[in-house]
């Protein structure tokens, strides 16, 4: 009986001794989406604590998008916590970016940008002013003076590019960024133009009908009653016939000058395009796994 008790005590002491030979690795991150390996065995994603790690040396590896951001031998002591801090510093970001050659090429070929160009235009305006009436000049006396005013005005031009090299239209920009207000406004403009064109056609048909009717009235109604061979001065009928032809002709000329409008795209402000381009570029970085603060050099 004593032997059995002694054996149990020995086993318990051995168990406590084995438990005492364990330690903990605690990992702190300044980035997300990392894979943690201990001795090349995957322990999980964004794992913060590795418990019951046997004492001694172990190879701890942390990867981000298959790029090793931390890989060192760590020593685990009994009943102790080994702390690892992985900082998101400049060197780490450059290391992550360096391994994303294809993603960077894709981002740089798809990113949107607004290119600005500012030039300065100088204008000189000269005018002669009367000493008696400022802003006027005399045509008979010489008491006047000439003022010359020179102004320099900044003129800003801008356009949209994709990939930094391809200039694109606002419609293409709206399609790429899925900016629906542009297409809603374009559809409204199209509907307004269609209404205007229908009204223009209707008014043109009415004017043409009235013009032709007026000319016909001059030919078949007024003309037979007018004696153009008379040597007398123009009578009322002659004036009436001329008026019919003139009015009808003007009506037909007016019809010929009517033109239909062509639907056109709305114009977005530079501020709106800059805002939408920023959102698109940030989402593209996120999709490709590129740091949010990355910008091509």
The more confidently predicted of residues 215 and 128 is 215
CATH of the domain at 54: 2.60.40
Q: Which tens digit of pLDDT belongs to each residue from 236-290?
A: 677 777 788 788 888 788 888 778 889 889 999 999 999 999 999 999 998 888 8
Domain termination residue (choose one: 55, 74, 89): 89
Q: What order of strands is seen across the sheet that includes strand 112-130?
A: 112-130, 144-162, 166-168
CA distances from 271 to 24, 116, 248, 277 (A): 53, 12, 52, 10
Structural domains in the chain (count):
2
Q: Which tens digit of pLDDT belongs to each residue from 190-215?
A: 999 999 889 888 888 888 888 888 88
The dihedrals phi and psi of 226, each to the nearest 5 degrees, come to: -110, 135
Helices (H), ranges, 138-269: 170-177, 180-217, 236-257
Whether residue 33 is contained in a domain is answered as: yes
Whether residue 64 is contained in a domain is answered as: yes
Task: State the pLDDT at residue 10.
Answer: 46
The answer to whether the pTM exceeds 0.85 is no
Q: Which tens digit of pLDDT belongs to each residue from 36-78?
A: 999 988 988 888 888 888 898 899 998 887 788 888 898 888 8
Domain termination residue (choose one: 40, 74, 89): 89
Domain that holds residue 244: 180-267
Give the span between the Cα atoms of 146 and 101, in whole angstroms: 66
């Amino acid at each position: 009986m004593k032997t059995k008790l002694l054996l149990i005590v020995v086993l318990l002491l051995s168990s406590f001794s084995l438990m005492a030979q364990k330690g903990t690795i605690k990992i702190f991150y300044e980035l997300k989406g990392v894979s943690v390996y201990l001795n090349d065995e995957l322990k999980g994603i964004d794992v913060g604590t590795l418990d019951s790690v046997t004492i001694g040396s172990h190879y701890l590896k942390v990867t981000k998008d298959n790029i090793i951001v931390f890989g060192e031998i760590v020593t685990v002591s009994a009943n102790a916590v080994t702390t690892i801090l992985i900082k998101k510093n400049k060197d780490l970001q450059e290391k992550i970016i360096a391994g994303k050659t294809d993603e960077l090429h894709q981002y740089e070929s798809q990113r949107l940008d607004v290119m600005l160009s500012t030039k300065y235009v100088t204008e000189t305006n000269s005018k002669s002013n009367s000493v008696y009436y400022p802003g006027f000049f005399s045509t008979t006396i010489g008491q006047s003076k000439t003022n010359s005013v020179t102004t320099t005005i900044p003129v800003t031009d801008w356009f949209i590019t994709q990939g930094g090299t391809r200039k694109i239209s606002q419609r293409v920009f709206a399609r790429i960024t899925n900016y629906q207000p542009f297409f809603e406004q374009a559809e409204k403009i199209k509907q307004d133009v269609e209404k205007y064109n229908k009204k223009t056609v209707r008014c043109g048909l009415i004017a043409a009908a009235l013009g032709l009717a007026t000319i016909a009235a001059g030919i078949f109604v007024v003309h037979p009653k007018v004696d153009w061979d008379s040597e007398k001065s123009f009578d009322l009928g002659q004036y009436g016939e001329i008026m019919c032809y003139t009015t009808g002709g003007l009506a037909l000329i007016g019809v010929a000058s009517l033109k239909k409008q062509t639907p056109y795209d709305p114009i977005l402000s530079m501020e709106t395009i800059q805002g939408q381009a920023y959102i698109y570029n940030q989402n593209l970085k996120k999709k490709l796994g590129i740091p949010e603060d990355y910008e091509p050099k």
